[in-house]
Structure 1
Amino acid sequence: MRRFSLWVRDNPVVADSVLALLLFALDLSALPDSSHKPVYLLFALLLPLPVIVRRVYPRTAALTLFVLSQLSIGVSGALGDPTLHPSALGLGLALYTLVAYVGRREGLFFLALLIADGVSTTLILGEDPASVIAFSITFYALCWTLAEFTGARHAYDTEVQARLAVADYDRERRAHDAVAAERTRIARELHDVVAHAVSVMIVQADGARYTLRRDPDAAERALGTIAGTGREALRELRRTVALLRTEHAPDDLPQHGTAGIAGVVEMMRGTGLAVDLELSGELDDVPPEVSLGVHRVVQEALTNTLRHAGAHPKAWVTVRRVADRVHIEVVDTGGVPVQTAITGSGLGLVGMRERVAVLGGTMEAGRDPSGKWRVVAEVPVYREAP
């Protein structure tokens, strides 16, 4: 039943055709009273026709119905036939349609025409003015009132549909933003793992090639560093891929802490990068996501130092926790890269800024007045609830 009602609502011509047939039947009931039956039957056929398209073309249907009504009154007056067409009630339907589906301004204009129609009917057919006025006021007031209720319901339905459309758009946008944020997070994680490992492995491979014949022990140490870095990178990649295979991030994220930072520094020292490390505060007692973020910032900053800080780079790493914030500072000599230095994509700093921003912190990077390159970040230990 509900499906049928929805179909009728979406096909207004069907329901209005039924109304037109009812108006035609009313006219046929008055046909025996007419003294000029062929003329009466002709207008009985014509008057209901505009009702069929009253909701499809409301203005045209109303005007056509009014003109036909005036013609029928004029012809009946000329022929001396006082029989009225009951289908003229369709004028009230036209008024209702204009007010409900078009607007009050069109409804008022049409109401003025209907008043003129009532006056002309009284004058031409000699009807009782009081009865005509009383019936017209009652009938058209009822039509207008019903139209107001229908118009209000249509306005409410339109507003609900608009809100549903906005809600659907917001839901799709949030889903798209969530997917984009997840892709950015995975891309950032892969960049940090791969860029760091590959940079260390390339530097070590170049060093091993140069010292293979002159210093086999140094070459062997470099190859050992390459192997260790590769295994560590493989473990990190497996963990990142595991994130992709699960719907939610695992609760057992690795806690890097001071040992993780020291491990990164020691690995970079193995590549020939001189690094001074200073750790202070309770760095092992922070949430895993903060620990990972601090670890990645130090790792990426030292990787950039290895790439871009010249032939004999040196870096100073300071990580300290003060109250509920972790301060990170990585400074290097900021030298000019040698010709064999590894070129970067420029995404390292972007990734660090994104990671720090996700954790609710701030980061700055650039050269200081002495020419050294400085990366400074501050991350809250616990994010405030939104």
Structure 2
Amino acid sequence: MRTATNRLVVDGPVAVLCGAVGAAVSLSAVAGASLPEWVALVAILVGLTACLGVRRVWPTAAFVVGSALMLVLVALPNVGDQGIPPILLPFSLIHPVLLHAVVAHTERSALPVACGLLGAAIAVVRGVIGFPVDPLGTAGVLAAAAFGSVLAAWALGRYSRISVAYVRSLEERAAQAELLREQQVREAIAAERRLIAREIHDVAAHSLAVVLAQADTARLVFDRDRDKAREMIGTAVEVGRQAMGELRSMLGVLRTGDETAPAGQDLAELVETFRRAGADVELVDEGEPQEIDTAQRHAVYRIVQESVTNALKHVGPDVRCRIVLDWTRERLTVTVADDGPGTSADLTAAGGFGIVGMAERMRQIGGDFEVRSAPGAGTEVRAGFGLLEVPR
């Protein structure tokens, strides 16, 4: 509605100005016309001016009414002292503008153009009849003007319509791109939240397992060996402080989207932390170690951390774990096996958030992950990834 109003506000004054100019030029050429002829010509001029003013709001209606008024002009006899056919008066040029509007602003083009060409032919015939002297010359000039104006109106209208459609397509693409960008932002935020939750789970679960194991053992040996108890409590405090520092570092890193391994820590330090908690953890390298990128190194660290932490939680501080890094030129396989009682449940399908997180880490770097467990045979976590296929 607002667009239609704006168009009327713009086109209305322009149409009035064109009507005034048309009246000044056209009506002066028919001096000496009778009163009925003047009334008819003024009425047609006013009607064409009104159609010109509303051509972009109601293009079809304006074209139909304008065409009917042009037929009335054809039907009128020659007017004025010079006997000019009314169809040849200058204000009849309003009709090609109406044709341009209907082609530019509607899906209809064939029928209006056909009507325009038919009207041009009628105007040529009427002009030749009105000027019987030199009919061939008159017909040639009138045909060039009439048919040329129709074809020009159609071409310009078609061009305008294609241009408007192109601009609209660009606007739609821009809107779709904006929606896609917003969707990607929402997905990125959701992914970052999942990553933060997984990281916090890994750090908190590992640290709390070690702290609880140390505190529980210290409580048991406090009366018999206070020095040993103090050492265990000190280890628990140290692990807690390390966990706090790691959480601060990890949250700061996640804000920049750079997923790196905890600063100043490697697998050897991690294993030593577990040993101080009382667990019997063995780290073995098989094959020749190779350089791996940050994401792979981080995944290995978290898988070892989570696997041993699960063993400490579910088996106890006396658990024995064997960590094997099997290196080949094309692949690294990480195996963490414990000597716990095991279970017949499918841990991969029914595991907690930690197992889901480990599987997700391996998926992100193009690797595979599985958990095997059987009653009396302990639990084994196995993860592997290609060294050449993983993006650098």
**TM-score normalised by the shorter chain: which range applies?**
0.7 to 0.9
One-letter identity of the residue aligned with 2:94? G
Contact 1:310–1:336 (8 Å) recurs in 2: no
Structure 2 residue 140 is the aligned partner of structure 1 residue 139: no
Paired position in structure 1 for 2:24: 28
Paired position in structure 2 for 1:112: 114
Select 2:327's aligned residue among 321, 326, 333.
321
Report 1:116-195 matches (<5 A): 116-118=118-120, 126-127=129-130, 130=139, 133-195=143-205
- 1:314-349 CA-to-partner distances (Å, cap 9, x unmatched) read 433212322243211112346479xxxxxx993212
Paired position in structure 1 for 2:106: 102
Select 1:226's aligned residue among 232, 236, 240.
236
Structure 2 residue 369 is the aligned partner of structure 1 residue 373: no
**TM-score, normalised on structure 2?**
0.76
Contact 2:120–2:150 (8 Å) recurs in 1: no
Structure 2 CA distance for partners of 1:15 and 1:205, relative to 1, 3 Å: same
Structure 2 residue 281 is the aligned partner of structure 1 residue 275: yes
Structure 2 CA distance for partners of 1:374 and 1:138, relative to 1, 3 Å: same
One-letter identity of the residue aligned with 1:114? G
Contact 1:118–1:133 (8 Å) recurs in 2: yes
Partners of 2:351 and 2:371 in 1: how far apart? 16
Contact 1:255–1:291 (8 Å) recurs in 2: no
Contact 1:308–1:336 (8 Å) recurs in 2: no
Paired position in structure 2 for 1:17: 12
Structure 2 residue 367 is the aligned partner of structure 1 residue 361: yes
Partners of 1:18 and 1:221 in 2: how far apart? 94
- 1:262-288 CA-to-partner distances (Å, cap 9, x unmatched) read 332333344444434322345474444
- 1:138-189 CA-to-partner distances (Å, cap 9, x unmatched) read 2111112222333333343334334434444444444444444444433333
Structure 2 residue 60 is the aligned partner of structure 1 residue 87: no
Equivalent residue pairs, number: 365
> Alignment partner of 1:305: what SS?
helix
| Cα deviation, residue 120, structure 1 | 5.7
| Cα deviation, residue 298, structure 1 | 0.1
One-letter identity of the residue aligned with 1:227? V
> Alignment partner of 1:323: what SS?
coil
| Cα deviation, residue 12, structure 1 | 4.2
Paired position in structure 1 for 2:346: none
Contact 1:58–1:94 (8 Å) recurs in 2: yes
Structure 2 CA distance for partners of 1:268 and 1:322, relative to 1, 3 Å: same
Structure 2 CA distance for partners of 1:310 and 1:253, relative to 1, 3 Å: closer
- 1:63-120 CA-to-partner distances (Å, cap 9, x unmatched) read 232234345555x4599994345333232122222323323xx211112333444566
- 1:231-271 CA-to-partner distances (Å, cap 9, x unmatched) read 221221232244256x4749997464xxx323323333444
Contact 1:325–1:380 (8 Å) recurs in 2: yes
Paired position in structure 2 for 1:199: 209
Partners of 1:370 and 1:213 in 2: how far apart? 34
Report 1:41-52 matches (<5 A): 41-52=42-53
Contact 2:371–2:380 (8 Å) recurs in 1: yes
Contact 1:254–1:292 (8 Å) recurs in 2: no
Partners of 1:51 and 1:212 in 2: how far apart? 101
Partners of 2:14 and 2:311 in 1: how far apart? 84
Contact 1:290–1:381 (8 Å) recurs in 2: no
One-letter identity of the residue aligned with 2:51? P
Q: Which moved more, 1:170-179 or 1:28-37?
A: 170-179
Paired position in structure 2 for 1:350: 356
**What are the ranges of 5 or more consecutive residues in structure 1 without an aligned counterpart?**
1-7, 338-343
> Alignment partner of 2:86: what SS?
coil
CA RMSD of aligned residues (A): 3.9
Q: Which moved more, 1:78-87 or 1:212-221?
A: 78-87
> Alignment partner of 1:54: what SS?
coil
| Cα deviation, residue 196, structure 1 | 0.9
